[in-house]
Amino acid sequence: MKFLDEYRDPEAARRLVEATWRLVTRPWTIMEVCGGQTHAIVRHGIDEVLPAGVTLLHGPGCPVCVTPLEKIDRAIALASRPDVIFCSFGDMLRVPGSERDLLSVKAAGGDVRIVYSPLDALQVAVENPGRQVIFFAVGFETTAPGNAMAVFQARRAGVSNFSLLVSHVLVPPALEAILGSPDCRVQGFLAAGHVCAVMGFTEYLPIATRYRVPIVVTGFEPLDILQGLYLCLKQLEEGRAEVENQYARVVSEQGNRPAQALVAEVFGVVPRAWRGIGEIPGSGLGLRDEYADFDAERRFDLASVGPRPEPAECIAGLVLQGLKKPHECGAFGSRCTPEHPLGATMVSSEGACAAYFRHRRVAAGQAGTR
């Protein structure tokens, strides 16, 4: 437990909080860009011990949450085919499509399987040569190397009944989309440490310079987040806008070069639609033409599954952009719960609405400053 306990030390946390109170002289607004960080912040009440006027916004840091409704409907259409074994991480099964979810497809007899790695899905394909096996490849840069490896291995082994339904998204273009919005209130970012462990943080350097915002690569334990906030606020108070690495025990500036090379071999940058936000140019990864045989959307006819409108009552898009807090939704905790979600932010294990429902039960419509 040593490497957990030392980052959850109450006395060290108290010292960081006190240092932050001594540092801050005016209101600031900071966004964390990771659903894991959001859950840690809400679970440990970090936003409630910050100086008055320091506001934390929850960004689009949950890959399940930003997967567009059309992609969920396509997953459901594929999983409903009798010739398909549809494999996915478990957190995608309860994400609502326009009419139902993957769990209801499974309940109706569809062969939907939870796996813990894309390589597990590849093994399913090897063991079932007479059926098509599709893996739902969702995630930020963090999961891209594993998905790339599965495709790379499938081609090398000649496994022709395996494909990916790809919904990969990239963090830096999302930050630029947020900063370019006329409604943007963000003055600094906590960047996701696991993404940077793969990609490094050189991509953030021009963003910090162009938009004059500090970006602090931050881990996921309470002391990580408190220190990341302190470093970000210190830059703001001093008028600096740089990229700092709080998570140096895991992240290097250049990241994991072999993983990056594998991703670049299999995937190319493409436009990507984000749920509740819309299409962001250059914000996704798609399979390169050399690997088109492993693209489920090219292999199967999905032309009939087009864009669908989001539920009118759901404000997930505003939550993902940091424009609203979960408890500011009139349906929160009543018409929208983890058992009966209106949107992905309530059902995903990294969703902001799920974090508030689990750790901070407040009345629907109750506004807060943090």
Are the CB atoms for 162 and 127 separated by under 8 Å? no
Q: From residue 345, how far is each of 48, 102, 278, 324 by CA, in Å? A: 22, 16, 16, 12
Q: In order of start, what are the domains of the chain with their CATH numbers?
A: 2-63+181-192+203-245 (3.40.50.11750), 65-170+255-299 (3.40.50.11740), 316-357 (no CATH)
Whether residue 237 has pLDDT greater than 50: yes
Whether residue 342 has pLDDT greater than 90: no
pLDDT at 284: 97
What pLDDT, in 10s, does the model give residues 13-46? 999 999 999 999 999 999 999 999 999 999 999 9
Please provide the average confidence, as pLDDT, over all residues in the chain.
92
Residue 222 Ramachandran class (φ > 0 left, ψ -120 to 50 alpha, else beta) = alpha
Residue percentage of the chain with pLDDT more than 90: 76
pLDDT-based confidence at 51, cuts 50/70/90?
Answer: very high
Least reliable range by pLDDT among 201-210, 317-326, 355-364: 355-364
Are the CB atoms for 218 and 37 separated by under 8 Å? yes
pLDDT-based confidence at 369, cuts 50/70/90?
Answer: very low
Least reliable range by pLDDT among 14-28, 158-172, 298-312: 298-312
Q: What are phi and psi of 131, to 5 degrees?
A: -130, 155
Are the CB atoms for 319 and 308 separated by under 8 Å? no
Whether residue 363 has pLDDT greater than 60: no
pTM for this model (two decimals)? 0.91
Alpha helices by DSSP H, 128-245: 144-157, 171-179, 193-199, 205-211, 222-238
Whether residue 361 has pLDDT greater than 80: no
Whether residue 271 has pLDDT greater than 80: yes
Are the CB atoms for 324 and 315 separated by under 8 Å? yes
pLDDT-based confidence at 302, cuts 50/70/90?
Answer: confident
Whether residue 364 has pLDDT greater than 60: no
Are the CB atoms for 89 and 74 separated by under 8 Å? no
pLDDT at 367: 39
pLDDT at 2: 60
Closest by CA to 225, choosing from 79, 86, 17, 75, is: 17
pLDDT at 366: 44
Distance CA 225, CA 38 (A): 10
Distance CA 96, CA 314 (A): 12
pLDDT at 61: 85
Using DSSP's 3-state secondary structure scheme, residue 1 falls into coil
pLDDT-based confidence at 267, cuts 50/70/90?
Answer: very high
- State which amino acid sits at residue 193: G
Mean of pLDDT values over 305-324:
82
Mean of pLDDT values over 79-94:
95
Mean of pLDDT values over 102-122:
97
pLDDT at 370: 42
Mean of pLDDT values over 122-129:
98
pLDDT-based confidence at 340, cuts 50/70/90?
Answer: confident
Residue owning tokens 């998204």: 169
Whether residue 3 has pLDDT greater than 70: no
Burial of 4 (0-12, 13-18, 19+ CB in 10 A): exposed
Q: From residue 114, how far is each of 49, 88, 184, 348 by CA, in Å? A: 39, 5, 38, 15
